[in-house]
Structure 1
Amino acid sequence: MPRKRDIEIKSWHAVPPPEVCPLCGRAIPPDQRDLHHFIPKSRGGRETVPLHRICHRQIHALFSEAELEQSYSTTKQLLTDPAIRKFVAWVRKKPPGYYDGTRRSRRRLG
């Protein structure tokens, strides 16, 4: 008969898998998690998707709410934009907890 100390104890608690940012593909740390409305709330959007804070801020720095509603209402559509593709190529090399300030796009100024 095996002794109690030799029996492997299995936990009933399963650790949930980490959330993955659909834009950059990196794991999202809890302190860097933002919920993004692909169709802005001001335009009737209800569904949200978790994104890295830096990815979320970059989307809103580049596009107006009207552009998000009309042209960029999915991840696939966002990735067709050259500025977003360039950003994603850059941010994929960073660690999951990386955050840096976001600058507004020059085309949105004015």
Structure 2
Amino acid sequence: MEAAASAAPPEACALCARALGARIEWHHVVPKSEGGRDTVPLHPICHRTIHASASNAELARLYPTLEALLAREDIRRFVAWIADKPPDFHAPTRKRI
């Protein structure tokens, strides 16, 4: 009996598409508190940006897919800004007002 092959680690962030670094966080596209089950790999800064931009209820209702989230102007600006940063780049995340 052959041992099952382990799944390869994810290579790219689901939000910004940059290579992942040493830390990977798993984001529920539809928040777990709103019934979501599917997760995607993200950089910590990308994960914090998502949650600083929208509440769990808004993520579930208005942005239930990454495509919908990427349609937001603030998220598009963030992705453009982070595009040339190294995988383990970190900066303070601004909370939404």
Q: What is the TM-score of this pair, normalised by structure 2?
A: 0.86
Q: Report the CA distance shift for 1:101/1:82 in structure 2 as closer, same or farther (over 3 A).
A: same
Counterparts of 1:60 and 1:39, CA distance in 2: 12
Give the drift of 1:30.
2.9
User: RMSD across aligned C-alpha pairs, in angstroms?
Assistant: 1.3
Counting matched residue pairs gives 90
Aligned residue for 2:22?
30
Q: Report the CA distance shift for 1:30/1:104 in structure 2 as closer, same or farther (over 3 A).
A: same
Q: Report the CA distance shift for 1:67/1:18 in structure 2 as closer, same or farther (over 3 A).
A: closer
Task: Give the ranges of 4+ consecutive aligned residues of structure 1 lying more than 3 Å apart after TM superposition.
Answer: none
Give the drift of 1:38.
0.8
Pick aligned residue for 2:35 from 19, 44, 63? 44
Give deviations 1:9-63, integer Å, cap 9, x for gaps: xxxxxxx5752012111011132x1000011111111111111110000000010
Q: Report the CA distance shift for 1:48/1:71 in structure 2 as closer, same or farther (over 3 A).
A: same
Give the drift of 1:96.
0.9
Uncovered stretches (5+) of structure 2, i.e. residues with no partner: 1-7
Counterparts of 1:101 and 1:84, CA distance in 2: 16
Give deviations 1:39-91, integer Å, cap 9, x for gaps: 11111111111111100000000100111001111111111000000000000
Greater Cα radius of gyration, structure 1 or 2: 1
Aligned residue for 1:76?
67
Q: What is the TM-score of this pair, normalised by structure 1?
A: 0.76
Amino-acid identity (%): 52
Uncovered stretches (5+) of structure 1, i.e. residues with no partner: 1-15
